Amino acid sequence: MSKVVCIVTYKKITNEAKLAAYAAIAPATVQKHGDHFLARGYPVALRESGQKERTVVGVWESLEVALKWYESPEYQECLEVLGDGAVRDIKFLEHV
């Protein structure tokens, strides 16, 4: 499989402090596992049924590498820090 794009949308942020703590440590795990971010933050413009949701977009060398990162002990610790601080939707799509 070719590269994959990971898209994370924050459907609901319930605890800004937990999100901030997560955001302070999660990028290091992403870089350690070989991803790089294409975009992070809130939309600068919306069209059609676009939602003003925090969104993160990254690129991985393969789905295997992306899932290895997601399941890694380092990232699982990040998820514990985030806890119930946000409701997210995470998608991995094949890069074209």
- Burial pattern 42-68, b for ≥16 Cβ within 10 A else e, equals eeeeeeeeeeebbbbebebeebeebee
Which of 5, 23, 6, 7 has its CA nearest to residue 86?
A: 23
pLDDT digits (tens, 9 = 90+) for 73-96: 999 999 999 999 999 999 999 999
Confidence of residue 34 (pLDDT cuts 50, 70, 90): confident
Q: Are strands 4-13 and 55-60 parallel, antiparallel or unpaired?
A: antiparallel
Mean pLDDT of 3-13: 97
> What domains are defined for the chain?
4-94 (3.30.70.100)
